[in-house]
Amino acid sequence: MNRLEKIEKDLEKAREKAAECQNKVRELEKQKQEEENSQIVQAVRSMKLTPAGLLAFLNNPMDTPAASGQSGPKSADIMEKEDEANEEA
């Protein structure tokens, strides 16, 4: 086998390996997309919103109350009252 034939053989092997790697990259990208979609669905379901509530949230997330009914962080007064209630119990 002369040098040119050896180079051509190595080139063909490299191309085959590159094609395998590209297929693996595509498959991993597909798996990643599916996992991201799954996590998004789980997050949306955990909010327990109605379809209308979800639409409102997606249109303006800052104005829509969370699934718990609370629209923002607790104030110091509310936290203090909860602490007092927990101490009495």
What average pLDDT score do residues 58-74 get? 63
User: pTM of the entire structure?
Assistant: 0.55
Residues 6+ apart with CB under 8 A from 80: none
Burial per residue of 19-38, b for 16 or more beta-carbon CB atoms within 10 angstroms, e otherwise: eeeeeeeeeeeeeeeeeeee
Half-sphere exposure of 47 (CA within 13 A, CB side): 21
Domain range list for the chain: 3-69
Least confident of 18-22, 53-57, 69-73: 69-73
Please tell me which residue, 67 or 11, carries the higher pLDDT value.
Answer: 11
pLDDT for res 16: 98
